Amino acid sequence: MKDVRTSEYVIEFARMATNMYRLGWDERNGGNISYLLYEDDLKDYIDTTKVIREIPLGFDAKELIGKYFLVTGTGKYFKNVERDPAYNLGILRIKNDGLTAELLWGFEDGGRFTSEFPAHLMSHIERLKVEPNHRVVLHTHPLATMSMSFIHPLSDREFTRTIWKMNNECIVVFPDGIGVLPWMVCGTNEIGMATAEKMKDYRIVLWPNHGIYGVGTTLDEAFGLVETVEKAAQVYMMIGERKVINPITDENLKDLAAFFKLNYRKDFLD
């Protein structure tokens, strides 16, 4: 067997964690990522018949039985993932009872998956119903988006409209908009279920005063969604109380949507 640390998916995952830390999105042990893997991804690297140990999930993930995930560990710092992936990451399979994760590689210190892994799995379940090629859920704490959530009305429509109007690119990248939750206690199944409900319609979900959940078919896609929202939020925060005299209008956004043939949230524009 080849060393899992040399696999393309672990290398890409670790590089992204480093980049997210460098951008200031994931302080200390903040943030988490899970990446759905296929049997073909693992066959040259892991003997999937050898289970290191079992870890209770804390909820019923029967819809994901037999699926594999590369996931960050609880209490792990993103800045350390690239240096020591086997300590900071784990590859898990959902056991046939739907209630247990089987550890196949990683968490070499005896650790376990991030406390928000159940929330990730709930989002994976809903996104796979919408997008069969879905693979990635990431949670992160981008500064401008967090800051904006303190001072901006918290509704899907209003938050999306403002973000769309900060950069022409936004409606093109996420024509489905942004889902917004009320403030909730993080790390619970309750916020996981609320996030998954939003994931039926959105690929980006805002946790006010906390961060973002973003999803995608690839690591790049999920990262790019968050990156685009964060850039727009930075523009919003830099404008501050200044009067905007050259806005992106609803008509401008409709023109962009027509040109790029977007299936966008038409009810979010006047």
How far apart, in whole angstroms, are the C-alpha atoms of residue 119 and residue 137?
A: 10
Same domain for 183 and 165:
yes
Residue 246 has pLDDT above 90, yes or no: yes
Instruction: Look at residues 23, 242, 245, 267 and name the one whose alpha carbon lies nearest to residue 164.
Output: 267
Same domain for 70 and 141:
no
Give 105-111 contacts, CB < 8 A, sequence gap 24+.
105/4, 105/45, 105/46, 105/52, 106/4, 106/73, 107/73, 111/73, 111/74, 111/75, 111/76, 111/87
Give the pLDDT confidence of 185-217 residue by residue, as tens digits.
988 899 999 999 999 999 999 999 999 999 999
DSSP assigned state of 113: B
Quote the mean pLDDT of the chain: 95
The last residue of one of the domains, among 81, 115, 149, is 115
How far apart, in whole angstroms, are the C-alpha atoms of residue 27 and residue 23?
A: 10
How far apart, in whole angstroms, are the C-alpha atoms of residue 30 and residue 231?
A: 20
Same domain for 211 and 87:
no
Give the pLDDT confidence of 43-100 residue by residue, as tens digits.
999 999 999 999 999 899 999 999 999 999 999 999 999 999 999 999 999 999 999 9
Same domain for 232 and 154:
yes
Same domain for 70 and 125:
no
How far apart, in whole angstroms, are the C-alpha atoms of residue 123 and residue 58?
A: 15
Give the pLDDT confidence of 16-25 residue by residue, as tens digits.
999 999 999 9
- The CATH number of whichever domain residue 236 belongs to comes to 3.40.225.10
Residue 97's domain spans which residues? 1-115
The last residue of one of the domains, among 83, 115, 147, is 115
Say which residues have a Cβ less than 8 Å from residue 237's Cβ, sequence separation at least 6. Answer: 144, 147, 148
| Alpha-carbon 91 to chain mean position | 17
> Catalytic: 131?
no
What does pTM read for this prediction? 0.94
Same domain for 6 and 75:
yes
pLDDT band for position 238 (50/70/90)?
very high
Residue 258 CB neighbour total at 10 angstroms = 10
The last residue of one of the domains, among 98, 115, 132, is 115
Same domain for 122 and 42:
no
Which entry of 82, 102, 116, 227 is annotated as an active-site residue? 116
Same domain for 101 and 194:
no
Same domain for 142 and 109:
no
Q: Please state at what angle helix 143-151 crosses helix 219-239, rounded to 10 degrees.
A: 50
How far apart, in whole angstroms, are the C-alpha atoms of residue 218 and residue 59?
A: 26
Q: What is the rounded average pLDDT of the residues 117-138?
A: 96
Same domain for 132 and 230:
yes
Query: Which 3-state string (H, E, C) describes 31-76?
Result: CEEEEEECHHHHCCCCCCCCCCEEEECCCCCHHHCCCEEEEEECCC
Same domain for 217 and 264:
yes
Same domain for 121 and 43:
no
pLDDT band for position 141 (50/70/90)?
very high
- Asked whether the CA dihedral 111, 115, 117, 118 is positive or negative, the reply is positive
- The number of folded domains in the chain is 2
